[in-house]
Structures are given as structure tokens and as C-alpha cells.
A and B are shown apart, each in its own frame.
Chain A
Amino acid sequence: MYRIGRNGGVVTRHIISIGDFDRRQIDRLLDNAKRIDAQKYDRDALSGKILATLFFEPSTRTRMSFEAAIARLGGTSISVGSVEACSMAKGETLADTIRVVSGYADAIVIRHPKEGAARLAAQFAGVPVINAGDGAGQHPSQTLLDLYTIRQSMKLDDIHIALVGDLRYGRTAHSLASALSLYDARLHTISPKGLELPGSLQAELTEKGIQITEHDSLQEVIPEVDVIYVTRIQRERFPDSASYFNVASSYRITPELLSPAKKHAIVLHPLPRVDEIDPRVDALPHAKYFEQSRNGVPVRMAMLLQVMQ
């Protein structure tokens, strides 16, 4: 589950990638999150502990939910106001920043534009590091809360899940697909041309025994699946606004589109959404994306307890 670092003989636990977890470890963490969700937890479990949130990229949900998570466990958080205000803007290396912040806090949550930044941080930190997204790389807390949200509605085993949208650059979809390979899920992918699941990831998933079916249209896949996982298609991937709107509209989730969906099927989205989901879907029982966002707190509380206790 963790990358184990040894600093002065003390074992430090980090959460860097969902790939570091096995199924048993994921299940245990989700069980802990469920207990926390049911208010069965010690509100002073992390009393006196300090969490440093180092976000070198914008974040709303991830940062706030980590701050809420440490507060609910009796601890406090510290952070730099903005990247411009921090010493890295003066040319300090991330390694030095991490070593310095390790002296101020009991754990570090980091988001950074460079892939592998969290692994580097774990190398230099004397305290646990949690990866909150490193460029196009990993974002394990998002994957864990995605799994947790699915598990609230159904067992994780053998589900059919549709991954919709930008599957080339969408790190949340990649990590979720990898994690679901531990549960024998069936993947259905629907994405615009050029934004398909990377071939290397497809090969890796197939090797793990996961079945992947590519679809041309959302209509054909909706009646088949248990989970519809929607990701944002970014405008900057297209040469002009017209071609973006043209493509984006054909991947939009609407109540009409969902009418043949299974009764228990759920719609997830890591948020923020732009045009991918019609606001009228919000009122349907299928819509679980705000619940998914809320689940960030108990799941991140479970993660903090795992590394800080």
C-alpha cells in the first residue's frame, strides 16, 4: 500500500500511487472510511498533529477536503498561500522545500505539476507524504473516493463501468481503471478520436485480465453498465471552439440518454463539470457526483489516520 521510507530508523508511510495498494489494503481503507462516515471515530485521534498542504497547482475539492479531514480528526493544517508567495518561486528545489516543511508538520499533502514529484517528496521527507496529484500522473485519494462511492451503491466485483470523455489525459480515469482491475471489472470506453485510453494502459489492463470494449456512442453502452464515469473534455485539446462544442455535445449526459439505464446505475464525475452533464441529471437517483465529492472527507480522513497515527 505504501512506499516505505526509512529515515533514521523510523519507518515512514507514504501514499503515492493507487498501484502501491493491493485489494486487501484498499478494502480495509474503504472499511475505515465507512466507519468514519457512520461517525464511529475518535475526534481527537490526530489532536496536536499538523498537516502541511503544499499545492503547486490549483485545487478546490482536494485541498479543502484534506483540510476538513484533518480538522475533523482534531488536527490542524498549514499551507503556503500561493505558489508565487513560496520560496520555490525564488528557485528553491522541491527537495529543499520538502525537507524544510518536514520540520514544521507531521505529514505533507502535495500537488505538483511534475509527474513523480510526490515520489521525490517521499524520498526527502522525514514525515508521511500523500500525493494529491502529480501532473498527468497519480491521484490516489481521488481513486479511493471513487471506489468508495461505487461501493456505497454496489459491490465492486464484476461491475460494468463506462469511462466517458477524455481518457487520454484524464488521470482519474486511468487510476480508477487500474484499481478496478483488482475487482475483475469490465471496462467500456467512449471517447473522442485522439482522446482514447492510451495504448500502453490498455495493454497493461488487458494483461491484468480486465476486459475492455471500445464503443462509438454513449447510447449503445448506457443500458449495459452499472457505473458511468464521466471526465471533462478540455477545450484546449481542440483546435477551435466550434470543434470542441461539436464533440463535447455528443458526450453529454442527459436525462433522455439515461432513460434506458439500469435502475441501480450511477453517474460519477470527479468535478468540476462544465458541459459534460446536463444539470437536469442532478435530480435523478443516478446522479452521485456530489455525493462522490462529499465522500472525499471520510476517505481522506481514513488516509490521514493510516499514515499519521
Chain B
Amino acid sequence: MDLLERFAAGDLDAFESLFRERQAAVYRWIVRIIRDPATAEDLTVETFWRAYKARARFRPDGNFEAWLHRIATNASLDHLRTTRNYIELSEDFPANPCPDSAVQKETSIAVQRALESLPARLRIVAQLGLIQEEPNRSIAEALGISESAAKLRMFRAVRILRKKLTEAGVTL
């Protein structure tokens, strides 16, 4: 019996092996959406917890990584729906301070606030597509929607972001 079959049958040792193999990749995906390392760690554990609880529904001949990816995306989406995780700017941002660094900092705050103001389902698309340069295809797969729906969400996110930034007096 291979690892995935053992996992689906409820073998905790098999699950531990899968956890240790995939935890870094799941964390990397979540931190790109959430941008906060501590929250991303919590959501990584939550993702595996959801996967473990749903093990009976997993088909061992299916794609475990894609399944986990979807669960991680949904966990992130649930988190975005319930919280507003404003990321504080570190003292060393921008990396190369110049006479305009105060303006840069203000722009950065305005951009982050504009991103936060997006509805969760648009924000996740904006984070992955605009900030992380993830292609529409993989965003669509992770969200379980069509590529055209992902593209439509991207258009709407950009339109709202532009409006919010203009209102804040920021021109990009």
C-alpha cells in the first residue's frame, strides 16, 4: 500500500510523512497570499488539519498536491474574509532611502490599504496575480473556478484598486 492509500485509510504515520514533505510548499503558497509569516504558519497547520479530517474523501489515485493546494487556498480565503491583516512596514522600507522615501512609504501604505479594502475573493486574485505574478490558469485551479472567471475577477480587482488609489491621491 503506498503512502497516499495509507493516508486515505487513516494511517497517522503516512500522514506525518506527507506533512513533512509538503509543509514548506503549502507555507510558501499561503504566505504569498497572506503576506504574514506567523499567520501563514497557522494556516499551514489548519490546511493539513482540514486535509486530515477529509482524508476519507480523498481518492488515492488523485492529485494530492492539487487537492492540498485547493484546501490551502480556501483556508486563506476564509482567513481573509474574517480578518484584515494589515502588514506593518519595517523600518528599513524602502530599502534605499532617498529624499522621496516618506512619499514612498505613504504610497506603500495606500497600496496596502487599497488591497485590504478589496473583497476577499478579489483580494486573493490580486495578491496572486498582480503581486506574485501567478498566471491566471494556476489561480483558477487553486480557486476551483474557470480561467475566464479568474480573469474577470482580476479586471474587477484592478478597477477597484485604481479607484481607491485615485481617491487616496496616489498615482501609480
Chain B binds chain A: no
Residues of B within 8 A of A (CB): none
